[in-house]
Structure 1
């Protein structure tokens, strides 16, 4: 059995048609049929039900399909990791979601560049979902995001839990409050971002309310963080945002602490499951050094 047999079988299983699968693989149909027949002969079982329209897998075929997909993913990851280890001393490709730029990420990147001048650092803005796909495809090496999306080929390290603050217009009646609970703001117009793709930070905010049995009465969804803050400044509503934004000066916007313990957004570092390269360990060490210097609470993780 060869890797090409797995690719051919998966193509036929997913297309449910030999002709379409052959076109997808850029080969003729007769050779493809022979390859599948050889695979069945080697396994000693039928993988497809004969005469079924559309083509249907047998029970054995369904079992083989699930494990063949996993094997191809592992083979691809092995290839990427081998290539990565060969160039680990040359470059590091890092993706981030926009909100992390208001936290410690710029400081982390700057310190990494100072310590490891010989390593070319590339930065890419991506949603968490895009980061997962890019990690699997070998397009990036590290992703900094806020969502936990399950994927067996991607390892997520929760760096810390960043508390949320409430962004309100400068003339809002909440401005002089030292702190607010989620119950205090339940009747406000709450601006969520991003509108797409979902799940997103917007869903994290809604989960914070759901955790204490609350459902905001008025929601406004917008495309991105900057638009949300612009709407806040215009008096259209209030927005829950990560604490890092409170360190910035945004005209006509005031940030107020949220006192609920569960009102936080995690900062997550994502890497490929098998990637234990020195550059990634160095990046993690820098993050923890900064956290120690600034007395930020975290749980140390190793790779």
Structure 2
């Protein structure tokens, strides 16, 4: 059976009239009749009962009509989806990000992605920054979001977001947004910060903010995960310095005191493989260029 034969058969099965079906198919009636006869011969069955006045499907014809309708519908769907995948309008994008990004850049990015490319699915993973580049290079991620500056010949990047830091304290802490003056007020407090890695610009920035006020933070707990740090602060185990976007993270009993009077800002960059030819990635990058990210 050929694709064209099934299409022509379904048209006759719908019209139950060879002349009307031939007009719809823009072919001569004798040619259409020959195609149906050839299909019947190939299958070894009678598909239509014909007389001078009527055309009627046989039981075998009814069965073929139902099955062929499903097959052609599936083929049409396959054809459409193949074209969408080729254009990057359907597929999957795998994103890796630090915890704070889910409260800043990820929601508007995904909202705009759904608006412009509703058939692209996203797979989200909170990834430690020291793991992110390895995951990009070994094709476990398509796009990564990172706060640390970097230089790599295989990776392209773009700064997409900038925000202030905040001092995070329990809501019953003696320091509040109303009486806060400077970080010197917490010089004797225990701190909860991410661990320091060799060459970590982000960690060094946090320490520099304190050193400018005349002290080195007394770090008593370390964690790579923002949600963990917030929970420890909430339980009065210390204070922390975190991107201000974390204030949108939950209804925890915390105060986020925005540090607008210091020069340090944290930047979030978007990174991807330079040689990646995945059309879904290129459409995602186009969407990212359309989005305005508000601190």
The alignment's TM-score, normalised by the length of structure 1, stands at 0.59
Report the CA distance between 1:259 and its aligned residue: 2.6
Report the CA distance between 1:271 and its aligned residue: 0.9
Residues 205 and 264 in structure 2, CA contact (< 8 A), matched pair in contact too: no
How is 1:138-149 mapped onto 2 (pairs within 5 angstroms)?
Answer: 138-149=139-150
Q: With a CA cutoff of 8 Å and minimum separation of 6, indicate the structure with the bigger relative contact order.
A: 2
What 5-or-longer segments of structure 1 have no aligned partner? 1-84, 297-303
Residues 105 and 161 in structure 2, CA contact (< 8 A), matched pair in contact too: no
Go from structure 1 to structure 2 and tell me whether the alpha carbon gap of 1:122 and 1:226 turns closer, same or farther (over 3 Å shift): closer
Go from structure 1 to structure 2 and tell me whether the alpha carbon gap of 1:134 and 1:87 turns closer, same or farther (over 3 Å shift): farther
> C-alpha distance in 1, partners of 2:277/2:265?
29
> C-alpha distance in 2, partners of 1:172/1:93?
40
Residues 159 and 268 in structure 1, CA contact (< 8 A), matched pair in contact too: yes
Go from structure 1 to structure 2 and tell me whether the alpha carbon gap of 1:247 and 1:93 turns closer, same or farther (over 3 Å shift): closer
Residues 171 and 254 in structure 2, CA contact (< 8 A), matched pair in contact too: yes
Counterpart of 2:229? 228
Counterpart of 1:98? 99
Report the CA distance between 1:143 and its aligned residue: 0.4
The alignment's TM-score, normalised by the length of structure 2, stands at 0.60
> C-alpha distance in 1, partners of 2:88/2:267?
28
SS in 1 for 2:150: coil
Report the CA distance between 1:249 and its aligned residue: 4.0
1:171 matched to 2:147? The reply is no
Bigger mean CA offset, 239-248 vs 114-123: 114-123
Residues 179 and 259 in structure 1, CA contact (< 8 A), matched pair in contact too: no
Count how many residue pairs are aligned between Structure 1 and Structure 2.
Answer: 209
Residues 182 and 260 in structure 1, CA contact (< 8 A), matched pair in contact too: no
1:120 matched to 2:121? The reply is yes
How is 1:191-202 mapped onto 2 (pairs within 5 angstroms)?
Answer: 191-194=192-195, 199=200, 201-202=202-203
Report the CA distance between 1:149 and its aligned residue: 3.1
How is 1:8-87 mapped onto 2 (pairs within 5 angstroms)?
Answer: none
Report the CA distance between 1:194 and its aligned residue: 4.8
Report the CA distance between 1:255 and its aligned residue: 0.9
What 5-or-longer segments of structure 2 have no aligned partner? 1-84
Counterpart of 1:131? 132
> C-alpha distance in 1, partners of 2:181/2:283?
38
Go from structure 1 to structure 2 and tell me whether the alpha carbon gap of 1:177 and 1:122 turns closer, same or farther (over 3 Å shift): same
Residues 113 and 120 in structure 2, CA contact (< 8 A), matched pair in contact too: no
Residues 170 and 234 in structure 2, CA contact (< 8 A), matched pair in contact too: yes
Task: Give 1 or 2 for the bigger CA radius of gyration.
Answer: 2
Report the CA distance between 1:101 and its aligned residue: 1.1
SS in 2 for 1:144: strand
Residues 166 and 241 in structure 1, CA contact (< 8 A), matched pair in contact too: yes
Report the CA distance between 1:182 and its aligned residue: 3.5
Counterpart of 1:218? 218
Counterpart of 1:185? 186
Counterpart of 1:65? none
Residues 190 and 216 in structure 1, CA contact (< 8 A), matched pair in contact too: no
Go from structure 1 to structure 2 and tell me whether the alpha carbon gap of 1:177 and 1:286 turns closer, same or farther (over 3 Å shift): farther
Go from structure 1 to structure 2 and tell me whether the alpha carbon gap of 1:213 and 1:274 turns closer, same or farther (over 3 Å shift): farther
> C-alpha distance in 1, partners of 2:104/2:113?
16
